[in-house]
Amino acid sequence: MHDLVEWLGAQLDADTREASSVHALDCDIHAYLQGDLESVKAAMAMFHEAPGAVCDCGIPARVLRETDAKRRTLARVRDALTEAESADPLVSRPARMVLLVVEPIARDLAAVYTDRPGYREEWRP
């Protein structure tokens, strides 16, 4: 399961890099076309501090917000897996229950990336 979590984190990193570059370009072009060079500089400075927070220029900004939300969910999955795996299996029924809930969440998050290299059929929900 940790392989899936790590692989999914890499996919989210790739989405963030791609959307960030498109978002930055969209913001630059929009401000340039408006003839407002100072707005371009201000937007880019703010963008690098909080991607997606400066403007809502469409899909790239949404993808950045979406990958942030998925990254938070993935962190919760990772934490739950770590805690469940370190629990005493003879004593901790809740730990086994956590695995029953968390594994499908990770598989669901990864399902949108079935076309990417490294995706394994055993991860399919």
Q: pLDDT tens digit string along 109-123?
A: 999 999 999 999 999
CB 70 within 8 A of CB 109: yes
Q: Name which of 17, 9, 11 is nearest 60 in CA terms.
A: 17
Q: pLDDT tens digit string along 77-110?
A: 998 888 877 777 665 677 777 778 888 999 999 9
**Close Cβ partners of 26 (under 8 Å, ≥ 6 residues apart):** 57, 58, 60
Mean per-residue pLDDT, 61-72: 86
Domain coordinates in residue numbering, the chain = 2-115
Q: Name which of 62, 64, 46 is nearest 54 in CA terms.
A: 46
pTM, two decimal places: 0.64
